[in-house]
Amino acid sequence: MAQIIDGKKISQEIKDELKEAVAVLKEKGVEGALAVIQVGADPASSVYVRNKKRACEYIGIRSESYELPEGTSEEELLSLIQKLNDDSNINGILCQLPVPAHMDENKIIRAIAPGKDVDGFHTQNVGALVVGQSGFVSCTPAGIIQLLKRSGIDIAGKHCVVVGRSNIVGKPMALLMLKENATVTVCHSKTADLKGICREADILIVAIGKPKFITAEYVKEGAAVIDVGIHRQENGKLCGDVDFDAVETIAGAITPVPGGVGPMTIAMLMNNCVEVMTR
């Protein structure tokens, strides 16, 4: 039976550490405030945004909510971002993605001042990660590094296979694993012999957005399997990109869905918010 990597517990530990750090900063007169922008009322985005605001409240930083109607123009959103960039009382800004189709997502991301980009999506922060300089790191991959480290899973020298090449997860994940001295392979929808490559992984990180795609045949005995996916099944239950019940019997360690990677994203967002306060 595999070790179950408990993201709920680890994310709680991190939030508690951050809560203490915020209390110490407050004694020194340093306050934190995160501006959270949501355009439209996508139900999934609303849940994420609510959870982010709750996490701010828990660790003791202020959150300011900007709920804009679906029909907001790109210009209006850019002007709000500019106003928040210039506001010295705001130290972190995030715009929940996706934005409506009439907006250019890349333009929105680039508009956020890199020093307030707690999502780590700005090209300047991504570039810093590529060349190994300091900057904000995308929260989900940063959370996965914490999950591995805090579960006692060694990374250096291991073969890590990342399945998925998105800007938010796959690409920064590969760079972070490289920074931790893993040997990294990135796979995607056009990869030949995906199964064979996955079977060589000591650490398999899956972010492909296909429910239960990774079965036991994709996994080497004893491998650590990290599942970034989250899907609602017809029976109402949640599942990931990994067929948990099948893979658990062969993996050395595995993240559940829910309660694995998901809670770590918000914990690392809070980590980035606290980092801005210490700059």
Whether 96 is catalytic is yes
Whether 52 is catalytic is yes
Instruction: In whole angstroms, give the CA distance from residue 219 to residue 277.
Output: 41
Nearer to ligand GUN, 119 or 275 (CB): 119
Nearer to ligand GUN, 139 or 198 (CB): 139
Least separation, in Å, of the C-beta of 261 and ligand GUN?
A: 11
Nearer to ligand GUN, 23 or 47 (CB): 47
- Report the DSSP pairing between strands 231-232 and 238-239: antiparallel
Q: Of 119, 227, 241, 243, which residue is the catalytic one?
A: 119
Half-sphere exposure of 111 toward its Cβ, with a 13 Å CA cutoff?
A: 19
Whether 133 is catalytic is no
Q: Of 52, 158, 171, 212, which residue is the catalytic one?
A: 52
What are the residues binding ligand GUN (CB under 6 A)?
A: 94-97, 119, 139, 265
Least separation, in Å, of the C-beta of 181 and ligand GUN?
A: 26
* Tokens read off for 119: 């999502």
Nearer to ligand GUN, 50 or 195 (CB): 50
Least separation, in Å, of the C-beta of 77 and ligand GUN?
A: 13
Least separation, in Å, of the C-beta of 217 and ligand GUN?
A: 30
Residues identified as active-site? 52, 96, 119
